Amino acid sequence: MSGRRYKAAIIGGSGYGAGEMLRRLLIHPEVEVVRVASIDHVGKPVWHAHPHLTGLTDLVFEDIAPREAAAGCDVALLALPHKVTAAKVPELVELGVKIVDMSGDFRLTDAAAYQKYYGNAHPVPHLLGTFVYGLPELNRERIKASKYVASPGCFATTIELALLPLARAGLLDGTTAHVVGITGSSGSGAAPQEGTHHPVRAVNLKTYKPLVHQHTPEILETLAAAGAKDIELRFTPVSAPLSRGIFVTVYLELPADAIDDKRMAALYDEAYAREPFVRRPTTRLPEVAAVSGSNYLEVGFAVGDAVSGKRTVVCFSASDNLIKGGAGQAIQNMNLVLGLDERLSLQDPGGWP
Any catalytic annotation for residue 315? Answer: no
Q: 312 and 182: one domain?
A: yes
353 assigned to some structural domain: no
pLDDT at 201: 85
Q: Which of 154, 172, 271, 297 is catalytic?
A: 154
**Is the pLDDT reported for residue 196 higher than 80?**
no
Q: Tens digits of per-residue pLDDT, 82-104?
A: 989 999 999 999 999 999 999 99
The reply to whether 14 falls in a domain is: yes
What residues form DSSP beta bridges with 237?
181
Q: Report the pLDDT averaged over residues 138-165.
A: 98
What's 177's domain CATH number? 3.30.360.10
What is this structure's pTM?
A: 0.96
Distance CA 351, CA 353 (A): 6
Q: What percent of the chain has pLDDT over 70?
A: 98
Same domain, 43 and 112: yes
How many domains are contained in the chain?
2
- Residue 173 sits at the vertex; the CA angle it makes with 169 and 174, to the nearest 5 degrees, is 160
Closest C-alpha among 141, 82, 137 to residue 115: 82
Asked if residue 294 and residue 253 are part of one domain, the reply reads: yes
pLDDT at site 193: 74
18-46 average pLDDT score? 97
Sheet holding 206-207, edge to edge: 206-207, 232-239, 176-183, 246-255, 310-319, 297-307, 278-279
Do 19 and 165 lie in one domain? The reply is: no
Which residue type sits at 185?
S
Structural domain span for residue 26? 6-151+326-337
Q: What is the CATH number of the domain that holds 30?
A: 3.40.50.720
With respect to residue 190, please indicate whether it lies within any of the assigned structural domains: yes
Report whether 244 contacts 186 (CB < 8 A): yes
**Could you tell me the pLDDT band of residue 200, with boundaries at 50, 70 and 90?**
confident
State percent of the chain over pLDDT 90.
Answer: 92
Neighbours of 260 (CB within 10 A): 14
Would residue 136 count as lying in a domain? yes
Q: Is the pLDDT of residue 3 over 60?
A: no
| pLDDT, position 329 | 98
- Give the model's pLDDT for residue 142: 98
**Per-residue pLDDT tens digits for 275-292:** 999 999 999 999 999 999
- Do the Cβ atoms of 49 and 37 come closer than 8 Å? no
pLDDT per position as a tens digit, 246-272: 999 999 999 999 999 999 999 999 999
Please check whether residues 49 and 62 belong to one and the same domain: yes
- Give yes or no for residue 1 having a pLDDT over 50: no
Please say if the pLDDT value at position 221 is more than 70. yes
**pLDDT at 199 > cutoff 90:** no
Say whether pLDDT at 189 is over 80.
no
Q: What share of the chain is helix, strand, coil (3-state, %, to 5)?
A: 35, 25, 45
Q: Is residue 281 domain-shared with residue 135, that is, in the same domain?
A: no
| Residue 313 lies inside a defined structural domain of this protein | yes
Q: Tell whether the model's pLDDT for residue 190 goes beyond 70.
A: no
Same domain, 140 and 17: yes
Residue 5 phi/psi, 5-degree rounding, is -100, 120
* Within a domain: 202: yes
